Each structure stands twice: as structure tokens, then as C-alpha cells.
Amino acid sequence: MKLGPRAISLSIFGVLSIVSLFFVFQLKFSFSFEQFFPKGDKDLDFFKAFMEEFEADDNFLLVAVRHEGGVFEQDFLKKVHEFTLQSRQLPHVLESQSLTKLGYPIKTPFAVTSIPVIHIDDPGRYESDKKRLFQDERFIHNFISEDEETLVVFLKTVSSITFEQARELLEGLNGLVEKFEFEEYHYLGRPYFQVELVDMQKREVIFSAVISFILVTLIMYLIFRKPWGIAISLVSIALGMLLFLGYMGAFGRELNAMSALYPIIMIMVGTSDVIHIMTKYIDELRKGKARKQAAIITVKEIGLATLLTSVTTAIGFASLLTSRIGPIQDLGVNAAVGVMIAYVTVIGFTVVMLSGFRVDQLIKLGKGQAFWDRSMLWSYRLTRNYPRRIAAGGMFVFALCILGISWVTTNYNIKSNLPRNSKITDDFNFFEKHLTGFRPVEFAVFPQGEYKATDFEVVREIGKVEEKLKEIEGIRAVNSITAVYKSINQMFGGNRPEAYELPESKEQFARYQRLVSQVPMAQANVLVNQDGSKARITSRIFDIGADSVKQRVNQVQQWAKMNVDTNVINIQQTGTALIIDKNAQYVREDLVEGLGMAILIVSILMALLYQNIKMLLISLIPNVFPLLMAGALLGFLNIELEAGISIVFAAIFGIAVDDTIHFLSKYKLAINKGKSTEEALQITFAESGKAIVLTTLILFVGFLVMLFSQNPASFTVGLLISVTLFGAMISDLMLIPLFIRKFMPTEEKKEETVSLKPIEINV
């Protein structure tokens, strides 16, 4: 028995669907800060080498517990102390610390011991304990808030904790917190970010997929109004989405911080392809063509244009490969592959399925068609009758865009990328307001010549840098090897707060060195490497923005060149914050490089397609406007240009070029059939105009779905793409006809007059 085209198509795509469904369940989510490290960066290489000798600067989880009325209440202190002890038993926790465990070192005839910072069992001493610890820079903001209502429990975790380990730790911690029934608590640290952001990714992917599909279903109903037309379009889009997810699972492509965009990209791009193909097929049926012939014409005329639009969209996304950031590179590759999967699905499945149906089975004809005919005719007449006004409007928009772009900033901050209306954001803001910031600011210290990191001269110079850091607004929790010797000096000074300073003489320093291993608070092993060839200065800074942090760090480094003895030490900034913040610097370079490459490749394709330099320029110029609009919106809305936002430009260029290709392809077909410029333009408006407007409206509303996202970056991406793609449609329909008339006019046929009546070609 010989199978027909539809049976073969259904069989092939049925098998692919089953295989894809299997691999969908193999998909995994991943998140780590290392994913956002820029590849090929010299500071990254230095940081990795430095961390081989020291611990990571983000191996902590802070738990802030709040008590209204003040923490100096015995029952509360006992509860915090017991919580601190029990939290040490949590999985992947190496150490736990809080004020209830800390002590001041004291020298006895036998050894160095300590007295507690807070005498929990003696409430009568609370006032004196409080007075002393609030004069100690080691405790205020680090272990206790200035308003005396919050204590911090510091949990030291394993270095480079994985997502699975972070999940285990958070599950145990949540259970422990519930057990102690703290009235208010907040978390801050790498494990918390990992777990919460992965959970957000999962919610975003499901939410965006469901809402987008509901939206597309409504749109297809409004367009076709017939069960078969709606069913074929929706099945085609869903099939493309399924095959894409199957590809992700089969090739081990993990879902990461950019994953919420995948469902929207696939559904919107698939919808655009389906509408163009179905519109053309129905158009040919209405002309009286047989179903098989209509399908062949559709593939020949729209299939090629759709292939080109898919390729250009894929190139736009593939330009993200120039980024140094892993998740963005992954998005570029996956989105490019997804676009081509959507195209193959439409050509191999949708067209074959359509060929089995009559026009009255696919769409309900009525007054809607007359509306589109009138609208497209009005648009055509507008470009013909008011060219100067349109040109002036274009120049005004161009000038406005340049102004907006001049206001763009790259002062990226963490808070702008945290989920809106979520506990993790509330917790982050709580620490910023009451305690220390999250961003680590770390310096590597290199003793020069014969000096070691534990020598008096080196420690003294490190102390100078420390004091300068403490003067910088927003920097807190400064720590280095100097803390060891300051603690010993304080011990010999009767533990008076003012005695917390470095010894004045080298002889006194040498005497203290013999006691270093006995001081409980020393932690010298994490501040100096084993052979004493390197040391570190750690601190944290408020979330003031990448550029602002860089400015303050440069201020410290410039000061050090003038005030620190470079014959004794050299310092160099390092740490995870520096590496991630460097993305703000690279994003501009990568953006220009990627877009330049995409424009070049698309230009070559256009040149091969049109074989006319004027047509090439006409096709590219209108697509500069959407890019300028996106940049201007960033400036006017005061949105930082950072790694996650940079993908907007690749998406906009790749998708915006689609409408241009459809418009010019239809125009070229009309010209090749002997039509004059005006006849060809009117036919192009009538036949391609509706599909361009419809697909743009669908993309506009589809990406607006992201405005409901908890993720601010997704919100911004959705807003920018929606608005600029709408601008791209206006640019195509208004500017391209002006350029064609100006640079590529054809002679009007004297015996013919261009008809301005609606041409009933499209659906």
C-alpha cells in the first residue's frame, strides 16, 4: 500500500515527537555564578590561579535573625547560640559562627584563651558587653545591626558549592529555622541565590510557555475562525516547540538563566512562519488554484522567503556567540537551531497538512477581509501622498534615538536582576539596609623581594590599604592578616577597643608572631598562603553598580600607588565580583562585534538574493532603526546595558529583517512579472502587508507576555523587543516604499493607470 504525502509526514513527525518527548524529560536546569565569568579574560585566569591557594570569596551563607525590641534578651541569645551550634551539622557547612560563640583572646600563664563577647548567662553584663562590641569594627554590621535588633549567623560552606549541594543545605536550613521559630529571618549568599534563581527559571519557562500558547490560540481563533485552520496552526507551533525541547534534551543542552526566552522565541517565530505560509496558501486557493498547485506555489514563493527570514533570524541569534558569557552563547546556539526547527516543521508538516483542506475549511471569510484591504490601501496611499512628512518623521525619530543612546549606562547592579516581589529580593534589600553588602571586593597582595606576607613591613603596608578601604563609602567587612595582630595587641591592652591596632614596633610584632597559632580568631590560613608569598584583603560593598564599584576600586589602587611602599608590596584586585562585573565592559565590545558580523552575513545573503546594491541598502537601512530604538529606550528608561539585556539587539535584528525580506521579495516578484513601481508596491501592500502586520502584532503581544515575569531582565527584554519590533514594522511599511521610489523607480506603462482599488489577493 502506497502512503500519501500526509501519511508520510504524519509518520515522520509522529516518530520525531515520540523521541523528543522522551528527551524532554532528560532536560536539566543549571545555575552558577561561574557561568557568567567572561571566557578568555586574563583577570579570570589570575583569579583561578589565586583561588587554588586560597578559599573562594563567596563560600558563605548568612542568616540574619531579627528580634523586635533588641537582641540583648537572654532567651533570644540562647536560641541564637543553640541555632549556631546546630547549624554546623547542616550538609556542606564547614563552620558556623555568631556573636554568641565569639570571644576576646586573653593571655594566661599557661596559654591563650578567650572571654565571651556576650556573657549569655549573665544579663547583668549585657550593657557593658553591648557598649564594648559596638566600639569594635569587627562586629558592627558584620554580626549585629546598628539598630541592635538583628544578629547574623555566618555559615562557611564548601568552596564552589554545586546546585545539588546548595539545595540540600537550604532544605536542612529551612527545617532548622522553622524548628527555632524565629519571628523574622533573612538569607544571603551563593547557595541561596543558586536555589532560588533555578526555581525562578523553572517557573518562568512554564509560565511563558503556557501564557504564550494561550495567546496564540486566541489569535489563531480571531484569524481563521474555523476548527481545522486553528488546529493545524496550533499543532504546527506546538510540534516545533516539542522538537526543539527534544533537541535540547538529546544534545545535553541545559536550561539556564536565559531559558525563559525559549518558549516565547519558539512560539512567536513558529507563529510567524505559520501565518505567512497559511496566508499564502489560502490566497492561492481563493484565486482558484487546486490544493496541490496552491501548496507548490506556496513553497516556491513564500517557502524561499520564509527560509531566508529563518536564516537571518538564526544569524541574529548566532551573533551572540561573540559573547564571552556561557549562558548567552548557549542562548545564541539554541535559539538559532530552534528557528530552523520551526521552519522545517512548517515546510515539512504544515504545508503537507494544508494541502488536504479547502479554503472554507481553513478560514471564515467575511468583513474582516474588506477591513484589511482598506487598511493596506490606506497605508500604500500614505507613503505615496506624504513622502516628505514620512521622511521628516524618520529624521526626527533618528535624532531622538541618538539622544537616548547617549544616556545609556552600563552601571549594572545585582538587585535589578533579582526576582520582583520575592523573598530573595527582600532578603537582599534587608542586608543592604541593615548589615553589609553582598558584592565581594578583594585584593591580592604580593610581597616584593625577600619579604613574606607575615613580615612586619608587609603587614604594616596591608594595614594602610585596609584603612583606605574603610574610608570608601559603601565598603564594609574589611579583613586581612592584620586582624590577627590587632587582636593580639588588643589582648595585651586589656581588650580595650582602642587597643585594636597594629603593634608599633618590629620587636613587639615579632613577639606577637609566636602567639599567632594560639589565637582563636586568627584564621591566618585563609588570609595568607602556605609559603607566605601571597596574602589577601577581603571586603564587601553595597550594590552600587558595576561602574561605581570599579570607580571606587580604581580610587583605592591610585591611592596605593602614591601611599603604599611598592618595594614592600604590590596589590591587584581580584574576586568573583570583579570577574562578573567585567561583563559590563565586554558587553559593549561583544555587542558591536556580534551585530557587525550578523549585518555582514545578512548583507551577503541579501546581495545574493537581490543582486542589486541599491536593493541591498534599501533592505538594511530600515532595520537600523529598530536597533537605534532599542538603544534609545535603554537610555530614556535608565536601564543598564548588561549581559542579559544585550541579547535584545541580536533578537531584534534577526526578527526585524524578516518583514523586510517578505516585503521586498513580494515586490521583486511583481517587478519580474512586468509591473511598474507603483503597481508592484500596491500589490506588495495588498498581499504581504496583512501578513507583516499580523505577525508583528503577534510578536508584539507575545513578547509583552514577559512583562508579567518576575525576572526584571526578562521584563526588560520583553518590553524592548515588543516596542522595537512594532517600530520595525512601521519602518518597513513607511520607509521602504520611499527608498524604492527614490532609488529604484521603473517607467510607468503609458497605457495603464495604477489601480487604487483593493486587490483581493490576501486573506
Residue type present at position 215: L
pLDDT at 93 over 50: yes
Task: Kindly indicate the confidence band of residue 1, based on its pLDDT and cuts at 50, 70 and 90.
Answer: very low
What confidence score (pLDDT) does residue 94 get? Answer: 92
Provide the pLDDT for residue 361: 86
Q: What is the pLDDT of residues 374-388, one digit of tens each?
A: 888 899 999 999 999
Cβ atoms of 156 and 93 within 8 Å: the answer is yes
Q: How far apart, in whole angstroms, are the C-alpha atoms of residue 687 and residue 675?
A: 15
Which of 74-88, 288-302, 455-469, 607-621 comes out lowest in average pLDDT? 607-621
Q: How far apart are CA 614 and CA 397, in angstroms?
A: 23
Percent of the chain's residues with pLDDT above 70: 93
Cα distance between residue 478 and residue 470, in whole Å? 7
* Distant-in-sequence, close-in-space partners of 343: CB < 8 Å, separation ≥ 6: 273, 306, 307, 310
Q: What are residue 65's DSSP bridge partners?
A: 151, 185
Beta bridge partners of 570: 446
**C-alpha to C-alpha distance for 662 and 277, rounded to whole angstroms:** 11
Average pLDDT over residues 564-569: 91
pLDDT at 87: 95
CA distances from 392 to 621, 630, 723 (A): 16, 20, 21
More confident: 401 or 514: 401
CA distances to 76, 93, 255, 420 from 155, in Å = 19, 6, 29, 26
pLDDT at 369: 62
- The Cα–Cα gap between 84 and 398 comes to 60
* H helix intervals, 5-99: 5-24, 42-51, 74-87
Whether residue 452 is predicted with pLDDT greater than 60 in this model: the reply is yes
pLDDT higher at 99 or 763: 99
The pLDDT, as a whole number, for residue 367 is 57
Q: Scanning the structure block, which residue is given the C-alpha cell 583572646?
A: 105
Tell how strand 103-107 and strand 112-116 pair up: antiparallel
What's the rounded mean pLDDT across residues 404-411?
A: 86
Give me the percent of the chain exceeding a pLDDT of 90.
25
Judged by average pLDDT, the poorest of 242-251, 255-264, 585-594, 699-708 is: 585-594
| Ramachandran angles phi, psi of 607, nearest 5° | -65, -40
| pLDDT value at 536 more than 70 | yes
Length of the chain: 763
Q: Is the pLDDT of residue 246 over 80?
A: yes
B/e letters for 517-529, b = 16+ CB within 10 Å, e = fewer, are: eebebbbbeebbb
User: What is the three-class DSSP state of 571?
Assistant: strand
Closest by alpha carbon to 652, among 632, 666, 670?
632
- Scored b (16 or more CB within 10 A) or e, 249-274 reads beeebebbbbbbbbbbbbbbbbbbbb
- Looking at domain 53-195, does it have CATH number 3.90.1150? no
Please give the DSSP secondary-structure letter assigned to residue 118: S
Domain ranges of the chain: 1-30+225-365, 53-195, 366-406+612-763, 425-580
Cell of 543: 550594590
Q: What is the mean pLDDT of residues 267-283?
A: 84
pLDDT in tens, 119-137: 999 999 999 888 888 888 8
In the beta sheet, which residues pair with residue 93? 157
The pair phi, psi for residue 140, each rounded to 5°, is -65, 130
Segment 158-204, tens digit of pLDDT? 888 888 899 999 999 999 999 999 989 999 988 998 888 888 877 87
Compute the mean pLDDT over every residue in the chain, rounded to the nearest whole number: 84
* CATH of range 1-30+225-365; options 1.10.1510.10, 3.40.50.920, 3.40.50.300, 1.20.1640.10: 1.20.1640.10
Which residue, 662, 641, 648, 647, is CA-closest to 721?
A: 648
Q: Comparing 1-30+225-365 with 366-406+612-763, is the CATH topology the same?
A: yes
Q: What is the mean pLDDT of residues 42-62?
A: 80
pLDDT digits (tens, 9 = 90+) for 650-694: 777 777 787 888 788 888 888 888 888 898 999 888 878 887 888
| Cross-strand pairs, 116 | 103
Amino acid present at 86 = Q
Q: State the pLDDT confidence band at 72, using cuts at 50, 70 and 90.
A: very high
Any idea of the CA torsion for 215, 216, 218, 219, to the nearest 10 degrees? 120
pLDDT score, position 3: 61
Angle subtended by helix axes 576-610 and 613-620, to nearest 10: 140
- Determine the Cα–Cα distance for residues 709 and 698; give it in Å rounded to an integer: 18
- Helix/strand/coil for 675: coil
CATH class of the domain comprising 366-406+612-763: mainly alpha
Mean pLDDT score, 539-563: 87
Neighbours of 444 (CB within 10 A): 20
| Radius of gyration from C-alpha coordinates of the chain | 33
- Flag whether pLDDT at 14 surpasses 80: yes
Please check the confidence at residue 98 and state whether its pLDDT lies above 70.
yes
* 345-357 pLDDT, tens digit each: 988 899 888 888 8
Q: What's the rounded Cα separation, in Å, for the pair 232 and 209? A: 19
The C-alpha atoms of residue 461 and residue 564 are separated, in whole angstroms, by 6
In this predicted model, what pLDDT tens digit does every residue of 197-230 receive, in sequence order?
Answer: 888 877 877 887 788 888 888 888 888 888 998 8
Stretch 528-548: mean pLDDT, rounded?
86
Across the range 140-153, mean pLDDT stands at: 91
Bridge partners (DSSP) of residue 431 are: none
pTM for the model stands at 0.78
Residue 56 pLDDT class (50, 70, 90 cuts):
confident
